């Protein structure tokens, strides 16, 4: 009798385990896994206005503060004025997001491409694409081909420079973490340690106050500084691109972002259909000629 009861109990237990296994197998996936799957699929299809963004139905774009001209106008990224603001909205439109769907966020320049999870969908802030930065973040294809330029006060020794060799003995400065500073270190190779500043504003103040003889910025910024901010300064010249490959600004995305391919396709399409050239002509038309320093 006891053996029969034991057999019945074992049979009942086996049936229970089998039922539980079926139940677990048919149970819905955890919400996090399901959303991960959907996120990747959405990113690959680039569905208009339905990408896997930080906020559903919205596109979060970041840049630094202050937002300098000619890249932005009146320190207001959201107004659509200035080269980078116009590019940001053109990319957003191509991705299926209206101007009202775009949210702007303030992120310091160096933090945009530092390691770590991002709170934005993409950042636009004159960030040059480089192999080193690609270790920490993703980049879109380039939206602007840029050259670096030297600015000095009129009448100064630095202002008379005709070649890279003429700059070796002057005190140079640039914003920290920029290719501008890299050009000083790697191309000019000055005899004096260059000054590195957290912001371009600090570099401009140092130039005004005679703390440095010259500063290096990208060419469009150099034209704006000499035309509107430090009017007693001049553009000494521009550097040639190193290695034959043009330096390019790219949109910054989180490492491994599902949006990277979609944003890159948008930038490529805007370059192909002439939109980027049109925006560049509107906002950066002055940045065309400056002596080349060799």
Whole-number Å distance between alpha carbons of 261 and 60: 17
Helix axes 260-272, 275-283, angle to 10 degrees: 70
What local confidence, expressed as pLDDT, does residue 32 receive?
35
pLDDT at 288 over 70: no
pLDDT at 13 over 90: no
What local confidence, expressed as pLDDT, does residue 34 receive?
32
Whole-number Å distance between alpha carbons of 223 and 140: 26
Average pLDDT, stretch 268-279? 98
Convert the pLDDT of each residue in 73-94 to its tens digit: 999 999 999 999 999 999 999 9
Average pLDDT, stretch 232-254? 90
Q: Which of 147, 132, 118 has the alpha carbon at shortest distance from 263? A: 118
Convert the pLDDT of each residue in 247-265 to its tens digit: 999 999 999 999 999 999 9
pLDDT at 100 over 80: yes
What local confidence, expressed as pLDDT, does residue 289 receive?
67
Q: Which of 185, 281, 282 has the alpha carbon at shortest distance from 239? A: 185
What local confidence, expressed as pLDDT, does residue 18 receive?
38
Whole-number Å distance between alpha carbons of 174 and 200: 7
pLDDT at 66 over 90: yes
Whole-number Å distance between alpha carbons of 152 and 208: 9
The conformation of residue 194, written as its DSSP 8-state character, comes to P
User: How would you write 58-103 as a 3-class SS string?
Assistant: CEEEEECCCCCCCCCCCCCHHHCCCHHHHHHHHHHHHHCCCHHHEE
Q: 0.85 exceeded by the pTM?
A: no
């Amino acid at each position: 009798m006891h053996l029969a009861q034991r057999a019945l109990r074992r049979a009942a237990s086996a049936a229970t385990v089998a039922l539980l296994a079926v139940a677990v197998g048919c149970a819905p996936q955890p919400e996090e896994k399901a959303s991960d799957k959907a996120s990747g699929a959405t990113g690959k299809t680039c569905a208009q206005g339905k990408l896997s963004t930080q906020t559903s139905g919205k596109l979060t774009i970041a840049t630094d503060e202050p937002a300098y001209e000619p890249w932005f106008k009146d320190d207001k990224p959201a107004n659509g004025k200035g080269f980078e603001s116009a590019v940001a909205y053109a990319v957003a439109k191509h991705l299926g997001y209206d101007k009202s769907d775009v949210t702007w966020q303030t992120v310091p320049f160096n933090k945009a491409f530092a390691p770590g999870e991002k709170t934005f969908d993409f950042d636009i802030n004159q960030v040059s694409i480089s192999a080193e930065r690609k270790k920490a973040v993703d980049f879109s294809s380039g939206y602007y081909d840029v050259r670096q330029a030297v600015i000095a006060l009129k009448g100064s020794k630095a202002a008379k420079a005709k070649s890279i060799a003429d700059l070796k003995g002057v005190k140079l400065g640039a914003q920290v973490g920029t290719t501008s500073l890299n050009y000083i270190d790697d191309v000019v190779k000055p005899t004096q340690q260059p000054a590195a500043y957290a912001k371009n504003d600090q570099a401009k103040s140092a130039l005004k106050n005679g703390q440095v003889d010259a500063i290096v910025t990208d060419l469009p910024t150099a034209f704006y500084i000499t035309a509107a901010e430090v009017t007693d300064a001049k553009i000494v010249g521009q550097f040639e691109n190193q290695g034959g490959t043009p330096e390019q600004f790219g949109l910054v995305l989180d490492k491994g972002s599902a949006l990277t391919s979609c944003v890159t396709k948008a930038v490529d399409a805007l370059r192909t259909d002439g939109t980027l050239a049109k925006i560049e002509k509107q906002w950066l038309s002055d940045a065309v000629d400056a002596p080349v320093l060799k």
